Amino acid sequence: MHRWKSFSRGMVLVVAGLGLLVIGGCETNPYTGRSQLLMTSVSEEIQMGAQAYDQVKSDPKMRPSQDPRELEPVKRVAARIVEAAKRSKYAEMAQQFQWEVTVIKDAKTANAFALPGGKMAVYTGIFPMAKTESGLAAVMGHEVVHALARHGAERMSQAQMTNAGLQIVGAAAGAVGRGGMVGQAAMAALGVGAQVGVLLPFSRKHESEADYVGILLAAEAGYDPREAIALWERMGQMSGGGAQAEFMSTHPSHETRISQLKKWMPEAMAIYQHKQPAPEALLPAVQ
């Protein structure tokens, strides 16, 4: 009994400490008003982003393209998206970043990313999906928002808090369980519960947030935001319907994404219609 009381008092103190960390680490997304748990500094994020970028570039399998036909449209779109970001609600963050973009020659990989600090990469395999510079702007706008909105830091913070909570509950379950079996079962059950109920939904929120603000940035940069819908329609066709159920996925389904983009499109089009359209061109793989 004495051991249980001591444990209970200790657990209360730990939980209270975690609560203070949560309160102190909360910020509000300027576009959506969503509260974000952020327990790392921007400078730490930028440092991690630079390290990750160096690792990507040093990988011998990641061949940087030297083809002007591939480099020029990517650099052109990246420059316009970055300038749009510097006029956005993320302007302060965008000004801190040292922007850089690399084109990776990999026709089999349809991907792009933007890291904290502004380091970006576009794989040539995304060209057939994007088709046009406006399509590429939808992709790059989405990825840039992940970096500016600090989604990576939020995921790390969520993981830290979830792990701390699981350790507390696991210790409590182990203290009252028989031979440790209840504690192990509780940890296993809460591990699944934490993944489905806490971490994955936030990941889908990040994707939706990046979709929403991404088309606003693309429109601000002078690119037709409607290309984002066409992009995800092509993505859906190429996936062949083989994806796992949305509830157990870290990304929204293609149908959900397209539906949300259509809902947000009037706002994006209102921005686009007041901008000088960016030069439009087909990407190299589809010319």
HSE (side-chain half, CA atoms, 13 Å) at 16? 6
CA 96 to chain centre: 19
Please report which residue ranges of 86-150 form alpha helices under DSSP H.
Answer: 91-96, 127-130, 133-148
Nearest to 82 by CA among 108, 62, 59, 101: 101
What is d(CA 278, CA 268) in angstroms, rounded to the nearest whole number? 15
Q: Decide if 139 contacts 123 (C-beta within 8 A).
A: no
Tell me, yes or no, if 143 is annotated catalytic: yes
Tell me how crowded residue 255 is: count the other CB atoms within 10 A of its CB: 11
Nearest Cα to Cα of residue 249 among 189, 212, 208? 208
Identified catalytic residue from 143, 154, 209, 220: 143
Cα distances (angstroms) measured from residue 224 to each of 72, 145, 203, 263, 272:
19, 17, 26, 16, 7
In the chain, how long is the greatest CA-to-CA distance?
76
Q: If you ran DSSP here, which 8-state letter would residue 195 be given?
A: I
Task: Return the structure tokens found at 146.
Answer: 């992940």
By annotation, the residues acting in catalysis are: 143
